Structure 1
């Protein structure tokens, strides 16, 4: 167990606790000695997951059925948390859904559903758990967003739109609740293997081609997200609020490398990296290579 994060004994609530991201975040909290509140839709499974976590790590864990879009269920989860733990120190919002469609074809029902879960749900849970943090004079909120919240990804317009909303909501919470000792930040993953993105990486060649677009030359794991969440959820980040940490292996900084380079600069760059044994994004990767101009 690591003591550097100083999470031991903290009460950490996680929405979407049965999802791939949520599971790893809950386990990482438990590894660091925190008590964990697991929140998800399936009551039987979430209670069983909490019991398993408590048995494995020797911490106090409880699982509550909670639909993040249902105010009554969220308030019931808050009340149960306070009754069983006495306080809540951390809330991590991970629950989310994705719908693919071109904007001109996207059904209004899909638009409303994704906004309701990904944005309204984050607001309700933040508001209700946040009220307890305000009373206590301290607390940390961490929201899972995405790099696509400010770098559009075609055919996922409603998902990207909701996450852009999450980013601004987090900034508003940070500004309004900072005087009460409550912080709010986002984690922005991209190119990470999760159950939601599993179909992207079912083909090894697709994974290989995508990894060549990333500075670290690998696809991220849920543990990479959990590590960033731990920092923002801990008091080690006490002077960080209203901000976001990208967890994308440097992809966001690679745009200049993915454009055509005039005067033979692309050939120079490719040859230099090949001589260093670095895999390139190139024709072999399955991604179209820009032509030197």
Structure 2
């Protein structure tokens, strides 16, 4: 856990997409622990502590009408939006580029890229009116290094470009937009892989910090970018990978 105070985000509201997953749930918990009132979005509305002022809505962020309606409901309920975390993403099974069909490619980009844009457009409207706000887009180290899912990396590279565009266009209005690129992280989805001791050891051996990340590692950085501690951080990518991306040459030398 982090040492953030329980009032760092007091009086502010936050919207988190993909909140029903392991990473999204950790981000919701982090922002709530810092005092924010949180709206959780997912295809199925996650459980929310309404007694504490938190809420949840079902929303397909790949559909602009859904996002616009969710933003309208939140505006009527909360009257403001201070923080937006675009965490929702889809990762189809491994598939080379040559085998992809239009529907597979389009769904990845509809959620991972257009979904982030739709949410920033509609939830960000309250930020632009208020002249303040922080947008945090979840990208991935796959934006910089290819993996086995042909469309995923390109979609996340586009998220980085979108983040910089938001920062430059909306910075003069008082908004900040930054990206977090997670490395190897243990989530409920990836846990069956890491539950195998050989798989875990092989992955840990190529991470400089010698452990696989947990959702709280990512959520802590999101909390930093959402808070005033990062008030002069805008248009940046923060890679949270335990040093994994810095290790290739060292790992090659060990094998030689």
Per the TM superposition, whether the score is higher than 0.5 is yes
Higher relative contact order (CA 8 A, sep 6+): 2
Contact 1:213 1:254 in 2 (8 A): yes
Report matched runs for 1:104-119 at 5 Å.
104-119=98-113
> Which residue of structure 2 lines up, in the alignment, with residue 229 of structure 1?
222
Report matched runs for 1:94-105 at 5 Å.
94-99=87-92, 100-105=94-99
Report matched runs for 1:16-27 at 5 Å.
16-27=18-29
Deviation per CA, 1:29-53, whole angstroms, max 9, x where unpaired?
A: 111111001111114xx2xx113xx
> Which residue of structure 1 lines up, in the alignment, with residue 142 of structure 2?
148
Give 1:152 shift: 1.4
Contact 1:20 1:194 in 2 (8 A): yes
Question: Counterparts of 2:89 and 2:122 in 1: how far apart (Å)?
Answer: 18
Q: Does 1:165 align with 2:167?
A: no
> Which residue of structure 2 lines up, in the alignment, with residue 30 of structure 1?
32
TM-score (norm 2): 0.94
Is 16-25 or 251-260 further displaced after alignment? Answer: 251-260
Deviation per CA, 1:152-198, whole angstroms, max 9, x where unpaired?
A: 12x21201010000000000000000000100011100110123433
How many residues are matched?
253
Do the aligned partners of residues 169 and 246 (structure 1) sit closer, same or farther apart at CA in structure 2, a change above 3 Å counting? Answer: same
Name structure 1 gaps, 5 residues minimum: 261-265, 267-289
Contact 1:5 1:231 in 2 (8 A): no
- SS of 1:24 mapped into structure 2: helix
Q: Does 1:128 align with 2:122?
A: yes
Is 4-13 or 176-185 further displaced after alignment? Answer: 4-13
> Which residue of structure 2 lines up, in the alignment, with residue 62 of structure 1?
55
Question: Counterparts of 1:36 and 1:134 in 2: how far apart (Å)?
Answer: 19
> Which residue of structure 2 lines up, in the alignment, with residue 241 of structure 1?
234
Question: Counterparts of 2:223 and 2:4 in 1: how far apart (Å)?
Answer: 11
Give 1:72 shift: 1.6
> Which residue of structure 2 lines up, in the alignment, with residue 50 of structure 1?
48
Question: Counterparts of 2:193 and 2:7 in 1: how far apart (Å)?
Answer: 33
Question: Counterparts of 1:72 and 1:103 in 2: how far apart (Å)?
Answer: 30
Give 1:256 shift: 2.1
Instruction: Spell out structure 1 runs of 4+ moving beyond 3 A.
Output: none
Do the aligned partners of residues 5 and 171 (structure 1) sit closer, same or farther apart at CA in structure 2, a change above 3 Å counting? Answer: farther
> Which residue of structure 1 lines up, in the alignment, with residue 208 of structure 2?
215
TM-score (norm 1): 0.83
- SS of 1:141 mapped into structure 2: strand
Deviation per CA, 1:26-84, whole angstroms, max 9, x where unpaired?
A: 111111111001111114xx2xx113xx45xxx31111121101212111111111111
Name structure 2 gaps, 5 residues minimum: none
Deviation per CA, 1:187-212, whole angstroms, max 9, x where unpaired?
A: 10011012343343231210111001
Do the aligned partners of residues 145 and 196 (structure 1) sit closer, same or farther apart at CA in structure 2, a change above 3 Å counting? Answer: farther
Is 100-109 or 83-92 further displaced after alignment? Answer: 100-109
Give 1:24 shift: 0.8
> Which residue of structure 2 lines up, in the alignment, with residue 272 of structure 1?
none
C-alpha RMSD of matched pairs (Å): 1.6
Question: Counterparts of 1:18 and 1:159 in 2: how far apart (Å)?
Answer: 20
